[in-house]
Structure 1
Amino acid sequence: MPPTRLAGLLGTAIREQRQSRELSQSELAELAGVSQATVARIERGERAPSIAVLERLLAAMDVQLVVGVEPLDAHLDTRIDGLAARPIAERIDGLGLDRLLDRLTDFPQVITGCAAAVLQGAPVPADTLQIALRWQDAKLFTRWLETNYGQRWNARWGEFGGVWLEPEEPGEHLWSTRYGEIRATMCDELPETIEVRHGGRSYQVVPLVELELSEPRAAELLRRYRDRQLVSDG
């Protein structure tokens, strides 16, 4: 059975929680009573864990799953088509990246996720700047958030605020700031990037081929865009 979107989302959640606790896959596997290979497959999105295994993995990290629902993504087709009809300069202006990037100078970071896809010409929806950020710079990022009125997304309340700012603390890596929202992908080392230029400005972005391997949401939208192209060409 091919990997599903849910498997990818669960894998990402497990990986982020494990890394925030500085646990290796083997250490988490031992705590949860499963094999390291099982943890690796789940984190890669290759296998959706059973409810029992998922609960054991989360309990081993002192967290629990919060379940929600949202409409199916059929509405995305209309939005993707609308974006494809707009010049790339308009898509980039709509993101408002420059105002935020001009102030993210306290630590190294690169653009990833859907924002990186947009900068490379893909007409995919992107509402938030997503950056790749090293764990070793987490404290610098926290200080930057404190200075710029940062609030972290609280999944339980469905709004920003009421949870710890620090990336090391449990929770979604999404913050609001005085300059806009930031989503962070925490990593040990920054990924390889390419340079793209628009309007006389240079951006360091994770290339599309890597986004499809490491960013489930961006990968899903890129595949959806390609599928629509095939239908149109056919």
Structure 2
Amino acid sequence: MTLRYHAHKPLRHHPGMPETRLAALLSDVIRRQRQLHELNQRRLAELAGVSQATVARIERGDRSPSLPALERLLAAMDLQLTIGVEELDAHLDARLTEQAARPLAEVLDGLGLDRIVDRLGDLPYLLTGSTAALLQGAPLPTDAVEIAVRWRDSARLTEWLNAAYAQRWNARWGEYGGVHIEPEEPGEHRWLTRHGELRAQMCDELPAGIKVRHGDRSYRVVPLVQVEATDPRAADLLRRHRQRQQAAEAPAG
């Protein structure tokens, strides 16, 4: 049986991939498509004929879903899945290639960067993580605007989040909502706002920032060397990006 997942990019099943990693990929697909279709977990479960607990477990990445359950969930959203094989970690190369091929203005608009930055006003912050890397020429894939904020400004951030009708990421249920939005509360510093997705790195003091320009705008960002030292996910992607650049520049033969 051939399964095909019609979305912006195919999901690939890697031979020898640990189940936890495959589960994480599948959970990301289900969660993102559910949100794109504006469904909550309960409604998707009803449409697919499974329990809400099943949807929650899959979106948390606790385990890989069975193929019948996966087919029912995707079919409930008028989707089907493509399963293929490729070299381990090739999906990262594909994402880097895809990101590099997109105009930076399009990427930033999709993130809602200017919408979020304009509304942060005088809240002290720096752009960090993959967002900072993008603005400094490294096409790292990211799905949220990433900022560094001081702990002593957390009350101001909470005020901003309330004004932006933010919902905080709920790791227990694998979706936004149902938990307190304040940064002081336990949980990942990740919110869905009316302006776009936002992630925050809470710190005692902001690192020294630099200004970069894109188009007619200027942004204050964490330098790449600092991003690489403080953000393991972005650091891994930066190293992979540089390796790809070096391989492309190496003389043939």
Q: Please give the range of the TM-score, normalised by the shorter of the 2 chains.
A: 0.5 to 0.7
Aligned 8 A contact 1:131 1:184 in 2: yes
Distance in 2, matches of 1:85 and 1:177, equals 27
TM-score (norm 2): 0.62
After the TM superposition, which residues 1-234 of structure 1 pair with which residues of structure 2 at under 5 Å, given as runs? 68=62, 73-234=89-250
Q: Deviations over 1:18-59 (max 9, x none)?
A: xxxxxxxxxxxxxxxxxxxxxxxxxxxxxxxxxxxxxxxxxx
Structure 1: gaps (5+ residues): 1-65
Q: Note the C-alpha offset of 1:216.
A: 0.9
Residues 112 and 195, structure 2, Cα contact 8 Å, conserved in 1: no
Give SS of 1:103's match.
Answer: helix
| Aligned CA distance change for structure 1 residues 222 and 192 (closer, same or farther; 3 Å) | same
Deviation at 1:101, TM superposition (A): 0.7
Unaligned runs of 5+ in 2: 1-59, 65-87
RMSD: 1.9
Q: Cα–Cα, structure 1 residues 191 and 165, in superposed 2: closer, same or farther, change >3 Å?
A: same
Aligned residues with identical type, % of pairs: 61
> What one-letter code is carried by the residue in structure 2 that aligns with 1:104?
L
The offset of 1:219, in angstroms, is 0.5
Say which SS state the counterpart of residue 192 (structure 2) adopts: strand
CA deviation after TM superposition for structure 1 residue 83, in Å? 2.2
Paired AA for residue 78 in structure 1? A
Distance 1:134 1:228, change over 3 A: same
Query: Structure 1 residue 205: deviation in Å?
Result: 0.3
TM-score normalised to structure 1 length: 0.67
Cα distance change of structure 1 residues 82 and 95 upon mapping to structure 2, 3 Å threshold: same
Cα offset for 1:143? Answer: 1.4
Q: Is the 8 A contact 2:211 2:220 kept in 1?
A: yes
Equivalences, count:
168
AA aligned opposite 2:149 = L
Instruction: Report deviation, 1:152.
Output: 0.5
**How far, CA to CA, are the matches of 2:63 and 2:245 in structure 1?**
28
Is the contact made by 1:152 and 1:163 (CA closer than 8 Å) also made in structure 2? yes
Moved more, 74-83 or 132-141: 74-83
- Relative to structure 1, the CA distance from residue 108 to residue 156 in structure 2 (aligned partners, 3 Å threshold; closer, same or farther) is same
Contact 1:131/1:185 (<8 A) preserved: yes
